[in-house]
Chain A
Amino acid sequence: MDDSGEDIDQMFSTLLGEMDLLTQSLGVDTLPPPEPKPASAEFNYTVGFKDLNESLNALEDQDLDALMADLVADIREAEQRTIQTQKEPAQHQHPSAPLEASSYGGAASADYGMPTARTVSQYENDLPPPPADPMLDLPPPPPPPEPLSPKEGERESKKDKGRRERKERKRARTPQLVVKVHMHDNSTKSLMVDERQLARDVLDNLFEKTHCDYNIDWCLYEIYPELQIERFLEDHENVVEVLSDWTRDTENKVLFLEKEEKYDVFKNPQNFYLDNKGKKEGKETSEKINAKNKESLLEESFCGTSIIVPELEGALYLKEDGKKSWKRRYFLLRASGIYYVPKGKTKTSRDLACFIQFANVNIYYGSQCKMKYKAPTDHCFVLKHPQIQKESQYIKYLCCDDARTLNQWVMGIRIAKYGRTLYDNYQLAVARAGLASRWTKLGTNTAKPAQRAPGPSQPNGGIPQATASISTVHQEAQRSVETTKDKKPAPSSHDPGPPQGGHLRKSVLPPPPPIRRSSDTGGSPSLPPKAPGVKTDCNDRKGDRDDSLLDGHAEHLPSHDKYLSNQLLPNIELLDFQKYKALG
Chain B
Amino acid sequence: MAGMKTASGDYIDSSWELRVFVGEEDPEAQSVTLRVTGESHIGGVLLKIVEEINRKQDWSDHAIWWEQKRRWLLQTHWTLDKYGILADARLFFGPQHRPVILRLPNRCALRLRASFSKPLFQSVAAICRLLSIRHPEELSLLRAPEKKEKKKKEKEPEEEIYDLTKVVLAGGMAPALYRGMPAHFSDSEQTEACYRMLSRPQPPPDPLLLQRLPRPGSLADKTQLHSRWLDSSRCLMQQNIKAGDTLWLRFKYYSFFDLDPKTDPVRLTQLYEQARWDLLLEEIDCTEEEMMVFAALQYHINKLSQSGAMGEPASPDQGLDDLDAALSNLEVKLEGSAPTDVLDSLTTIPELKDYLRIFRPRKLTLKGYRQHWVVFKETTLSYYKSQEEAPGDPIQQLNLKGCEVVPEVNVSGQKFCIKLLVPSPEGMSEIYLRCQDEQQYAHWMAGCRLAAKGRTMADSSYASEVQAILAFLNLQRAGGGGGSGSQPQGSDASAESLNPHGLVAPRFQRKFKAKQLTPRILEAHQNVAQLSLSEAQLRFIQAWQSLPDFGISYVMVRFKGSRKDEILGIANNRLIRIDLAMGDVVKTWRFSNMRQWNVNWDIRQVAIEFDEHINVAFSCVSASCRIVHEYIGGYIFLSTRERARGEELDEDLFLQLTGGHEAL
Contact = CB atoms under 8 A, between A and B. Distances in A.
Interface of A: 2, 85, 88, 92, 163, 165-167, 169-170, 195-196, 198, 238, 241, 245, 247, 274, 276, 285, 293, 296-297, 300, 304-309, 311, 334-337, 339, 348-350, 352, 354, 357, 359-360, 385-390, 392-395, 459-464, 564, 568-577, 579-581, 583-584
B592 A296 contact: yes
A203 B639 CA distance: 37
Nearest to A336: B290
B427 A388 contact: yes
B336 A580 contact: no
A352 B287 contact: yes
A566 to B, nearest CB: 11
Nearest to B614: A285
B583 interface: yes
24 contacts: A92-B327, A169-B346, A170-B338, A285-B612, A293-B592, A306-B546, A334-B287, A336-B287, A336-B289, A337-B289, A348-B583, A350-B285, A354-B289, A360-B423, A389-B425, A394-B427, A460-B333, A460-B337, A462-B337, A463-B337, A568-B642, A571-B594, A577-B601, A584-B603
Contacts of B541: 305-306
Nearest to B572: A300
B402 interface: yes
A573 B428 contact: no
A169 B343 contact: yes
User: For A274, A337, A569, A577, which residue has the most chain B Cβ atoms within 10 angstroms?
Assistant: A577
Interface in B409-440: 423-428
A359 B346 CA distance: 30
B548 interface: yes
Nearest to B644: A564
Nearest to A292: B592
8 shortest A-B CB distances, which residue pairs? A392-B427, A335-B546, A389-B425, A349-B285, A196-B336, A462-B337, A387-B423, A584-B602
Contact of A357 (B289, B583, B599): B289
A390 B427 contact: yes
Interface string B613-638: 00000000000000000000000100
B339 interface: yes
Contacts of B588: 276
B256 interface: yes
A584 B426 contact: no
Contact of B333 (A276, A388, A463, A579): A463
Contact of B642 (A169, A390, A564): A564
A584 B597 contact: no
Contact of A349 (B286, B545, B612): B286
B335 A569 contact: no
B484 interface: no
B334 interface: yes
B77 interface: no
B639 A568 contact: yes
B288 interface: yes
Given A354-B288, A575-B596, A387 B636 contact: no
A349 B594 contact: no
B546 A354 contact: no
A348 B216 CA distance: 15
B486 interface: no
Contact of A306 (B404, B542, B591): B542
Given A166-B344, A568-B639, A570-B591, A354 B596 contact: no
Contacts of A241: 339
A388 B425 contact: yes
User: For A359, A574, A581, which residue has the most chain B Cβ atoms within 10 angstroms?
Assistant: A574
Given A167-B335, A296-B592, A580 B427 contact: no
A170 B590 CA distance: 52
Given A238-B338, A460-B334, A463-B333, A360 B402 contact: yes
Contact of B640 (A461, A463, A569, A580): A569
A580 B402 contact: no
A309 B344 contact: no
Contacts, number: 177
User: For B335, B339, B602, B640, which residue has the most chain A Cβ atoms within 10 angstroms?
Assistant: B335
Contacts of A576: 598
Interface of B: 256, 259, 285-290, 293, 327, 330-331, 333-339, 341, 343-344, 346-347, 402, 404, 423-428, 507, 527, 538, 541-543, 545-549, 573, 583, 588, 590-603, 612, 636, 639-640, 642, 656-657, 660-661, 664
B312 to A, nearest CB: 19
User: For A163, A247, A385, A394, which residue has the most chain B Cβ atoms within 10 angstroms?
Assistant: A385
A349 B547 contact: yes
B215 to A, nearest CB: 12
A336 B290 CA distance: 7
Contacts of B338: 170, 195-196, 238
A385 B428 contact: yes
A305 B664 contact: no
Contact of A583 (B542, B600, B642): B600
B599 A569 contact: no
Given A306-B542, A577-B601, 5 more contacts: A167-B334, A334-B287, A349-B549, A572-B597, A577-B660
Contacts of A572: 594-597, 636
A568 B640 contact: yes
Contacts of B339: 238, 241
Contact of A571 (B288, B527, B546, B595): B595
A459 B336 contact: yes
Contacts of A311: 548
A307 B548 CA distance: 12
A88 B334 contact: yes
B333 A348 contact: no
Nearest to B423: A387
A163 B331 contact: yes
A584 B601 contact: yes
Nearest to A297: B592
A136 to B, nearest CB: 28
B412 to A, nearest CB: 27
A580 B287 contact: no
Given A169-B343, A390-B426, A581-B661, A570 B594 contact: yes
A390 B404 CA distance: 19
A581 B463 CA distance: 71
A88 B597 CA distance: 61
Contacts of B507: 350
A364 to B, nearest CB: 15
A463 B598 CA distance: 48
Given A198-B337, A348-B285, A568-B639, A577 B661 contact: yes
Nearest to B259: A305
B597 A575 contact: yes
A88 B603 CA distance: 73
A579 B657 CA distance: 17
Nearest to A393: B427
Contact of A336 (B293, B334, B337): B293
B285 A388 contact: no
A13 to B, nearest CB: 18
Contacts of A459: 334, 336
User: For B293, B334, B549, B595, which residue has the most chain A Cβ atoms within 10 angstroms?
Assistant: B334
B463 to A, nearest CB: 16
A473 B484 CA distance: 60
Nearest to B293: A336
Contacts of A300: 573
A311 B426 CA distance: 34
A305 B546 CA distance: 10
Given A360-B402, A573-B596, A392 B546 contact: no
A574 B334 contact: no
A305 B341 contact: no
B237 to A, nearest CB: 24
A170 B596 CA distance: 61
Nearest to A238: B339
A577 B664 CA distance: 9
Contacts of B612: 285
User: For B327, B336, B402, B543, which residue has the most chain A Cβ atoms within 10 angstroms?
Assistant: B336
